[in-house]
């Protein structure tokens, strides 16, 4: 293994860390923003401003992506234990 291979491996780990370390929380916060835009709001005069149903649907889609990514991460970490104890080979 030479210096170029090592540098490439370090860059791959750095990219994965940025995607999962900062990307998923950023995606989750974007989902929170969409959810707040899709929520009904009571105004001071007693009327209600209805939120966007598209924003709610977008927030649910973003949350689904985050949940799937977390589940895949947990399954990836536990893949050898799942295979050893339960005989389940996922990846």
pLDDT digits (tens, 9 = 90+) for 18-54: 877 888 999 999 999 999 999 998 889 989 999 999 9
Q: How far apart are the first and last CA of the chain?
A: 26
Gap between the Cα atoms of 52 and 59, Å rounded: 11
pTM score, whole prediction: 0.76
Structure tokens at 13: 């780990």
pLDDT at residue number 17: 85
Q: With contact defined as beta carbons under 8 Å apart, do 91 and 76 qualify? A: yes
Backbone angles phi, psi at 47, to 5 degrees: -80, 165
Gap between the Cα atoms of 28 and 21, Å rounded: 12
Report the mean per-residue pLDDT for the chain.
Answer: 92
Q: With contact defined as beta carbons under 8 Å apart, do 9 and 3 qualify? A: no
């Amino acid at each position: 293994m030479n210096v170029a291979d090592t540098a490439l491996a370090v860059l791959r780990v750095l990219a994965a860390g940025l995607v999962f370390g900062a990307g998923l929380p950023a995606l989750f916060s974007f989902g929170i923003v969409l959810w707040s835009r899709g929520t009904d709001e009571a105004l001071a005069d007693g009327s209600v401003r209805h939120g966007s149903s598209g924003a709610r649907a977008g927030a649910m889609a973003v949350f689904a992506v985050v949940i799937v990514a977390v589940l895949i991460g947990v399954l990836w970490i536990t893949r050898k234990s799942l295979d050893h104890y339960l005989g389940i080979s996922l990846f």
